[in-house]
Amino acid sequence: MARNTYNIDEKLESPFNIKHLLRSLAYTKKHTAKLIISLAMNMTINVINLFTPYLTMIVIDDIIPNGDMNKLFIVGAIYLVSILFTYFISYKHSIMMNGVANEIIFNIRQDIFAHVQELPFSYFDNRPHGKILVRVVNYVDNVANFLSSGLVNIVMQVFSLAAVLVFMFTTNVELSLVILSGVPLLVLLIIITKPMQRKIMIDYNNKSSNLNAYLAESIDGVKTTETFTRQKKNSEIFADLSDKFRRIWLKRIRFWLIIPSTTEILTTAVSLAVYAVGALLLTDCSIGVIIAMAAYAGRFWGPIQNIGNIYNDVMNVTNYLERIFETMDEPVDICDVEGATELPPVKGDVEFKNVTFSYEKGHTVLENVSFKVKAGESVALVGPTGAGKSTIVNLLSRFYDIDSGETTIDGHNIHNVTMKSLRSQMGVMMQDSFIFSGNIYENIRYGRLDATEDEIIAAAKAVRADDFIRERPEGYQTPTSERGNSLSAGQRQLVSFARTMLSDPKVLILDEATSSIDTETEVLLQKGIQGLLKNRTSFIIAHRLSTIKSCDRIFYIGNKGIMESGTHDELMAKKGYYYNLCTAQSREME
């Protein structure tokens, strides 16, 4: 999919296909027994209901004229018992089917979540997170409701139709034909409206998805919004998206109502026709038969109306399923290649051989980049913004696959080793260290759940995080909110250092924070970094001269590759790009 944003509708990448619906049945398989019981319960209720017009007919044609009170009492008792019985079954049925729906929701969500977690970075680069969220939450809810009750309902309505037809035709054939006369009109209407309905449903989902995407983005960026007092403009954008959603929602409702309204009109029309034809044309019809047949007209058109509603549901659900399966089928491009081997414990020799890479076809970010870094060496990556520093470190962990060339660790091509064995030996610390909700202890333990408390504390001590953690009243149990907003930027970095330290990677990647932090924290972070770097190959996207100078080698990245490399002194003597960068930075500092 091309890059998508909140104001761009997602294109459906596959045409309408009944296969999606059939595929979704896999989720109902383990509930087959319950679905059959549900069907049996529904059928029982239906058959009982079908007897009531029959009882009415007996009362009118037989009991009332003969004044037979005994019979009236018996019929009344049967009626009462049957009503109580149907209520009881309906209650049990409702509880059972809600349970099934919940399990289906659980299973689909587990599958889609598991898959989303495997997807490559590029998938998330191209989609607003709100649009992914809406698939996992809203669409799955809608689908599960249909799978748990809709399918049974279809069978049930067909069964009801068949049963009512039997009752109708055994009561009166001519009036039965009158009741059936509205069917061709309804079929024609369904055929005419179907394509339009699908189009509206797709549009409806797109507008709802866009709204969700903007909402998620706005919540993420709310601090920036408030800083720039952009609330009014953002509200306007939100209002515009809401309005588009409202319009399509109304359009959907209007279309949604066409089939049920038509069937309602047809029900009344054929019921009237039954009275008219029965009373005026058919001389051999008793009043009891006419009243029973009018009731059967309702009972016949009831299931037809329900089928109309189910038809609407099918149109919606297939659309949701298309989106859900599209996500589930999204190829995990970055995965273990066939025959991938385990990367043995490495020393940390890293090599790029003629690496060429582009995020999007035609826009090469790195071209024929080659370098060798020895185990234990530290390399500072410097250069202008957008030069490709982060890209180089992203490729080291195989977050993206390269277009050509080779990337090796200890001579092993990282493309041919398992992702788990590769990434478990790499430590990546992004500039904006992500802190999860929970507490500091759990955040440090994030990548190594089997770590002991002593190991966790030792890791925190090694990166100088222990002091600030102990200063907090709740120490390691200090609660952390999503993104770690309760911690300062420096503290977030220290926790992330400790997390990486605990996983003890052989190759370390660090994107140094650019945000201005106080000198005290900077000193603390520097000490933390020094603790981390010991005995590891490290790549640091460095912004501070002090960090750069402390590295063994410096790569100046620019023009799709490494323009200069060497130690600080060598590069200063060369008076090239690095020299200019340093002198500019020093001047700025002064």
Residue 397 lies near ligand ADP (rule: CB under 6 A) = no
Distance CA 576, CA 556 (A): 10
Distance CA 284, CA 11 (A): 62
- Binding part of the chain for ligand ADP, among 38-46, 94-102, 358-366, 497-505 by CB under 6 A, reads 358-366
Q: What is the largest CA-CA distance in the chain?
A: 121
Q: At what angle do helices 32-58 and 287-329 cross, to 10 degrees?
A: 160
Q: Which is nearer to ligand ADP, 307 or 365 (CB)?
A: 365
| Residue 362 CA from chain centroid, whole number | 30
Residue 390 lies near ligand ADP (rule: CB under 6 A) = yes
Shortest distance, position 558 Cβ to ligand ADP, whole Å: 9
Q: b/e per residue, 401-425, with b = 16+ CB within 10 A? A: bbeebebbbbebebbbbebebbbbb
| Residue 205 CA from chain centroid, whole number | 14
Q: Which is nearer to ligand ADP, 391 or 478 (CB)?
A: 391
Distance CA 108, CA 98 (A): 15
Q: Which is nearer to ligand ADP, 390 or 537 (CB)?
A: 390
Shortest distance, position 396 Cβ to ligand ADP, whole Å: 12
Residue 386 lies near ligand ADP (rule: CB under 6 A) = yes
Residue 359 lies near ligand ADP (rule: CB under 6 A) = yes
DSSP H or E stretch at residue 537: strand 537-541
Please give the backbone phi and psi of residue 106, each rounded to the nearest 5 degrees, phi first.
-55, -50
Q: Which is nearer to ligand ADP, 16 or 399 (CB)?
A: 399
Shortest distance, position 19 Cβ to ligand ADP, whole Å: 33
Q: Which is nearer to ligand ADP, 390 or 478 (CB)?
A: 390
Q: Give the number of residues written for the chain.
A: 590
User: Given the structure tokens 């680069």, which residue do they identify?
Assistant: 125
β strands within 2-82, DSSP E: none
Per CB under 6 A, the list member of 179, 259, 365, 571 interacting with ligand ADP is: 365
- Binding part of the chain for ligand ADP, among 42-50, 276-284, 385-393, 567-575 by CB under 6 A, reads 385-393
Per CB under 6 A, the list member of 348, 388, 427, 528 interacting with ligand ADP is: 388
Distance CA 168, CA 366 (A): 77
What sign does the CA torsion over 308, 311, 313, 316 have?
negative
Shortest distance, position 43 Cβ to ligand ADP, whole Å: 56
Q: How many residues bind ligand ADP (CB under 6 A)?
A: 11
**Encoded tokens for 568:** 């600080």
Residue 385 lies near ligand ADP (rule: CB under 6 A) = yes
Shortest distance, position 118 Cβ to ligand ADP, whole Å: 18
110-169 residues in contact with ligand ADP (CB under 6 A) are 125
- Binding part of the chain for ligand ADP, among 156-164, 231-239, 384-392, 420-428 by CB under 6 A, reads 384-392
Bridge partner list, 371: 352
Residue 391 lies near ligand ADP (rule: CB under 6 A) = yes
Shortest distance, position 366 Cβ to ligand ADP, whole Å: 8
- Binding part of the chain for ligand ADP, among 193-201, 212-220, 294-302, 389-397 by CB under 6 A, reads 389-397
Q: List Cβ neighbours of 127 (8 Å cut-off, separation of 6 or more).
A: 1, 4
Per CB under 6 A, the list member of 20, 34, 323, 389 interacting with ligand ADP is: 389
